[in-house]
Amino acid sequence: MKKPEQRREPRHRGKLLVQFESGIGITRDFSGSGVFFETDRSFSPGQPIEFILVLENLNPARPVRMKCRGKIIRVEESGQKIGVAAAINSYTFEAFRQ
């Protein structure tokens, strides 16, 4: 039996760079309230997380960085990559620093 949809906002498929303290990842999909990314780092459900989504397509010369705070919702291990679903509780935008 398929679970009912619980997302508050529609998901958008796309690959964005995700930067966090212990590594990096690449999104599979994202929305205003959450993100799913793949990484080689381990996380646990319920764990708080701070990460940055790098929005290069808005302005390739000066990418926008969306600094997010949230919580890990689910972790899916598949081979060498780990899929991580995270809720976004708050975010701010900051200028890209090179």
* Residue-wise DSSP of 8-51: SS--EE---EEEETTEEEEEEEE-SSEEEEEESS---TT-EEEE
pTM over 0.95: no
Per-domain residue ranges for the chain? 12-83
What is the mean pLDDT of each successive set of 10 residues along the chain, which is 98 residues long? 58 92 94 94 96 83 90 92 96 74
Asked if 90 contacts 65 with a C-beta cutoff of 8 angstroms, the reply is no
- List, in order, residues 6 or more apart from 87 with CB less than 8 Å away: 33, 34, 70, 71, 73
